[in-house]
Amino acid sequence: MADLSLLQEDLPEDADGFGLDDCSSESDVIVAPSALDFVSQDDMLTPLGRLDKYAASENVFNRQMVARSLLDTLREVCDDERECVAVLERISRLADDSEPTVRAELMEQVPHIALFCQENRPAIPYAFSKYLLPIVVRYLADQNNQVRKTSQAALLALLEQELIERSDVETKVCPVLVELTAPDSNDDVKTEAVAIMCKMAPMVGKDITERLILPRFCEMCCDCRMFHVRKVCAANFGDICSVVGQQATEEMLLPRFFQLCSDNVWGVRKACAECFMAVSCATCQEIRRTKLSALFINLISDPSRWVRQAAFQSLGPFISTFANPSSSGQYFKEENKSSEDTSVEDKNSSERTRSADAPEDIEARPTGGDSSVHLEEALADGAETPRQPPGELSAPAESSSPHRSSPEPPPDAAGSEEEQEACACRLASQPEAGTGAQDSAPLDQEQYNSFHFWRTPLPEIDLDVELEQGSGSEPSPQGLDVEPEVPAPGPASITMATRKELEEMIENLEPHIDDPDVKAQVDVLAAALRASSLDAGDEAGEAARRPPQDELPSCRLDHDASGPLISEETLDSALHSMHNGSDTGPGSGFSPEEERRAKVQDVVPQALLDQYLSMTDPSRAQTVDTEIAKHCAYSLPGVALTLGRQNWHCLRETYETLASDMQWKVRRTLAFSIHELAVILGDQLTAADLVPIFNGFLKDLDEVRIGVLKHLHDFLKLLHIDKRREYLYQLQEFLVTDNSRNWRFRAELAEQLILLLELYSPRDVYDYLRPIALNLCADKVSSVRWISYKLVSEMVRKLHRAAPPTFGADLIQELVESFGRCPRWSGRQAFVFVCQTVIEDDCLPMDQFAVQLMPHLLTLANDRVPNVRVLLAKTLRQTLLEKEHFLASASCHQEAVEQAIMALQMDRDSDVKYFASTHPASTRISEDALSTASSTY
């Protein structure tokens, strides 16, 4: 149309020029208006004029364009404060537009306009607070859903960028949100307002949240009319708890949380299960153990499958909140980290804390009232409180060792568990026999036998009958047997050869005393040796071998109520167990009751751990979630860290079950985290329990092997050098994949080999890693080759610095033969790439490089393939000549390089000439490779 109008305007002139005087007059020509005319009219208007013109248009599209161009208009008039204020006033008028799309478009621009106002605050100091914020707040209650959503997003964006003053938040934002959540408010608006309050709580801080948001939030948690509101509150409960802190959470929020967890609507309970970990983090250990644990058990057994599914997904994270950094640190740090480094004052303070919590825990036990009274009296007398059976939910959190005030390291977990069970059994039985702890004389410490407190108590023993039989005389050295009519052999039958055997076994095990399992064996053997020496009358020898008195559990027992010492059958079984290396794990021949006790611990409530261990049950996949085993595998490192390596026996069977799961996703999850678990368990448990599973993952699907491969260095560095060398033979297997196009697998292998260089000797690197590296340098995919060049250069560095330099010289010679003189041009190009990397990373001294690699590199100046010559020219000009060795000294090597560059400058290929004669900015190997990507794939 524009062209046509111009043509019609020119016609009269043309006609006159050619003498056509009889043509139509100029008045008869119809001139059509052009769009350029309108553009010129707009250009003549001021920014405010254009804004007023289109803001008053009846066309909705024009008004939308006004909203989009507001920021540009402000930038044009930012130098004039009055015009800026005028634009902001027109924004306020535009906010009253009747069309929802215009209002939504305006709200999308508000955060950008607010940021502009903040940057130009001297010119328009109160622009946002006066003009923009009221619009945002007003739109929160808009009738149109799209407008409300955009205003909510704008408000959160403004709060996140800290563009709203705290005073405005308190006086303009929070009161409106509280009003929108009133009982008579619209249902949709109320639900959205509650969600906004919850999301803005972390941004506005603890003070404003507690004063202005928390009271209304608690009311909304009890909204009986709308479950949508309660569901939103439950979904954001953890965020509110993390903001307000522990005190407000326990006093105000926990009662509401209990109500939401028992809500009639399963969606509300499901939301509670999903945020359970965040709520637990905001409470103290006592409430977490006594109240939240029981509440979580209810969610796990919820009638709704969706609630159970969410609860099981949160079970592992919830268990991880029971971790105590002060106590768990000594289990997952390095082996030489001993708890002896802990000061006595810290232990005494922790002892006082546990003693203060003990009476409440004791009252929560399902035991007889008399035994509870006597236990409390034993506490008052200064004796140590026997540990609660870990199966109870109210077990104390930090009760990980019976030696509360001892500076010695805690004993093995399994041993201390059974030790305290026996102690608790005897303490509970004393009142029934009429020999209460408060009436009995203190037990002579020479008669103490720690073997009683380690072994599992025999339930068939009737302590009342035995105590009545021996009440009138001194206790005989014979132990109590299961059947009273059969006389039990005394310790006198233990021969000197047996004692000697015990001493030899203890001496052999002492170098490995850091291992918790070995320490448990040493404790058993030492107890047996002390018992045999005690009964033989060797009191002096027993006093010399016995540990200090303050290391013994301070369980106050009656002298007449002392249990059996040690029988020959028990000692023989113990020796047999030590010789065969048996443990309490599955398949060791123990009864189901003993296997159950092997999974008992006291770090977390036993009911929670039992539920976690049941996640591998096949029935769970049918009744809860088909991927429940994957969730179990995902959270297992966190659970293991919480329990500590001394309780690994509780998780060993579960981990083995997951490692053999039929779903590859479960095994893949374990493969990606096995290196983290190895750090938690330490080198000895890793070698015993994780290495076999690691070996199985190496032969699994590629989807599982990639998890092992990505952290191969992290896992192997935790192993002993001998065990680590065994994997040198298996590294070659990573070159074979299920799909040959899976080039990322080989690229990851090259990355890991670079890290593995530091773990192996130069001979191992040359014998085992070198063939793999050279194979990867000839890979079909260029991305794999680029990483491999780095691998080879680092290998050159390591072997050159080795004591016998022959490995480095042999590797360089093989590079020259296999790549520098390769009949394929891609091999010769790879040789140039390797040389470039060696120069850039200073893997070889320049004098050594000039002798060993540079002569072979310069021969490629006459290569018949231009790609090789181009890369050579870039390497010589941009990399080699930048080194000080060739800049400072005029040697024969420098002369040879200059001659090669001159030859390349006269090359028949234009690209070779360019890179040989100029100095482009690009110098990195990756950019060089990308420049030739089309010819190097």
pLDDT at 557 over 80: no
Highest mean pLDDT among 332-336, 674-678, 888-892: 674-678
112-115, long-range: CB within 8 Å, 24+ apart, which pairs?
112/71, 113/70, 113/71, 113/74, 114/158, 114/163, 115/161, 115/163
- The amino acid that residue 478 corresponds to is Q
pLDDT at 330: 35
- pLDDT by residue (tens digit) across 808-846? 999 999 999 999 999 999 999 999 999 999 999 989 888
Token couple for 252 = 């105000």
Residue 259 confidence (pLDDT) above 60: yes
Lowest mean pLDDT among 279-293, 501-515, 557-571, 912-926: 557-571
Q: What is the DSSP letter of 165?
A: -
3-state secondary structure of 328: helix
CA 580, 583, 587, 593 torsion-angle sign? positive
Q: What is the CA radius of gyration of the chain?
A: 40
CA distance 879 to 927: 13
Residue 747, pLDDT above cutoff 80: yes
pLDDT of residue 406: 35
* Higher-confidence position of 542 and 833: 833
Q: Is the pLDDT of residue 474 over 80?
A: no
Q: Phi and psi (nearest 5°) for 342?
A: -75, 135
Measured CA to CA, the distance from residue 104 to residue 95 in angstroms comes to 9
Q: What's residue 39's pLDDT?
A: 54
Residue 218 near residue 256, CB atoms below 8 Å: yes
Query: CA 732, 734, 736, 742: dihedral to nearest 10 degrees?
Result: -150
Burial 209-221 (b: 16+ CB within 10 A, else e): bbebbbebbebbb
Helix, strand, or coil here: 672?
A: helix
The string over 4-42, giving b where at least 16 C-beta atoms fall within 10 Å of a residue's C-beta and e elsewhere, is ebeeeeeebeeeeeeeeeeeeeeeeeeeeebeeeeeeee
Reading the block at residue 599, the tokens are 């999974």
Of the candidates 503, 461, 478, 482, the residue with the CA atom closest to the CA atom of residue 568: 478
Average pLDDT score over residue span 232-259: 93
Q: If you count DSSP H runs as helices and E runs as strands, how many of each does the chain have, helices first?
A: 58, 0
Strands (E), 581-707: none
**Confidence at residue 322, expressed as pLDDT on a 0 to 100 scale:** 92
| 596 compared with 382, residue with greater pLDDT | 596
> Do 275 and 375 meet the contact criterion of CB atoms below 8 Å apart?
no
567: its two tokens: 């029988």
Sign of CA dihedral 53, 55, 57, 63: positive
Q: What's the pLDDT score for residue 485?
A: 40
* pLDDT (0 to 100) of residue 83: 83
Predicted pLDDT of residue 225: 81
State the pLDDT at residue 602. 82
In this prediction, residue 245 carries a pLDDT of 92
Closest alpha carbon to 785 in 821, 819, 823? 819
Q: What CA dihedral angle connects 903, 907, 910 and 915, to 10 degrees?
A: -20
DSSP 8-state assignment for residue 33: P
**Band of residue 519 on the pLDDT scale cut at 50, 70, 90:** low
Q: Which residues of 635-673 are buried (b: 16+ CB within 10 A; e: fewer)?
A: bbbbbbbbbbbbbbbbbbbbbebbbebeeeebbbbbbbb
Q: What does the pLDDT read at residue 445?
A: 40
Task: Give the C-alpha separation, 752 to 139, whole Å.
Answer: 55
Tokens of 821: 């003189």
Give SS3 for 453. Answer: helix
Look up residue 35 and give its two tokens: 């769009």
Q: Determine the residue type at 490.
A: G
Q: Enter the DSSP assignment of 924.
A: -
Query: Can you give the pLDDT at residue 672?
Result: 96
The DSSP line for 198-218 is HHHHHHH-HHHIIIIIHHHHH
Which three-class secondary structure state does DSSP give residue 691? helix
The CATH architecture annotation of domain 42-164 reads Alpha Horseshoe (1.25)
Looking at residue 149, what is its pLDDT? 93
The answer to whether residue 640 scores a pLDDT higher than 90 is yes
Q: Which of 303, 245, 233, 334 is nearest to 274 (CA)?
A: 233
* Whether pLDDT at 882 is above 70: yes
Ranges of each domain in the chain: 42-164, 845-930
Q: What is the pLDDT averaged over residues 610-639?
A: 92
Q: What percent of the chain has pLDDT over 90?
A: 42
Q: Got the DSSP string for 767-816? A: IIIHHHHHHHHT-SSHHHHHHHHHHHHHHHHHHHHSSSTHHHHHHHHHHI
Q: pLDDT confidence of 40, banded at 50, 70, 90? A: low
- Cα-based angle 155, 157, 161 (whole degrees, multiple of 5): 120
Q: Look over the chain and give the mean of its residue pLDDT values, rounded to a whole number.
A: 74
Q: Where are the beta strands (DSSP E) in 231-380?
A: none
**Unique residue bearing structure tokens 């870039």:** 874
The arithmetic mean of pLDDT across residues 589-599, rounded, is 57
Are 91 and 108 in contact by the 8 Å Cβ rule? The answer is no
476-489 in b/e form (b: 16+ CB < 10 A) is eebbbbeeeeeebe
3-state secondary structure 553-613: CCCCCCCCCCCCCCCHHHHHHHHHHHHHCCCCCCCCCCCHHHHHHHCCCCCCCHHHHHHHH
pLDDT at residue number 308: 94
Examine the pLDDT at 174 and tell me if it is beyond 70: yes
For 681-710, what is each residue's pLDDT tens digit? 998 999 999 999 999 999 999 999 999 999
Name which of 582-586, 693-697, 713-717 the model is least confident about.
582-586
CA-to-CA separations, 465 to 238, 271, 431, 462, in angstroms, rounded: 56, 56, 14, 6
Residue 594: the pLDDT is 58
**Rounded CA separation 734/43 (Å):** 68
pLDDT tens-digit readout, 215-232: 999 999 988 788 889 999
The pair of three-digit structure tokens given for residue 98, joined into one six-digit string: 């009747």
Q: What is the mean pLDDT of residues 182-188?
A: 85
First-to-last CA distance in the chain?
53
Cα separation, 266 vs 311, in Å, equals 12
Q: Is the pLDDT of residue 366 over 60?
A: no
In angstroms, rounded to a whole number, what is the distance separating the alpha carbons of residues 5 and 32?
Answer: 5
pLDDT of residue 846: 87
> CA–CA separation, 74 vs 80, rounded Å?
10
Q: Which of 204-218, 537-551, 649-663, 860-874 has the lowest mean pLDDT?
A: 537-551
DSSP letter, residue 549? G
Q: What pLDDT is recorded for position 45?
A: 75
Residue 122 has pLDDT above 80, yes or no: no
Residue 335 predicted with pLDDT over 70: no
What pLDDT, in 10s, does the model give residues 46-80? 878 888 888 888 888 988 888 888 888 888 887 77
Q: pLDDT for 564-578, tens place per residue?
A: 333 444 444 444 444
CB 141 within 8 A of CB 148: yes
Quick one: which of 714, 607, 688, 620 has its CA closest to 658?
Answer: 620
CA 614 to chain centre: 23
> Which pair of tokens denotes residue 500?
């000697």
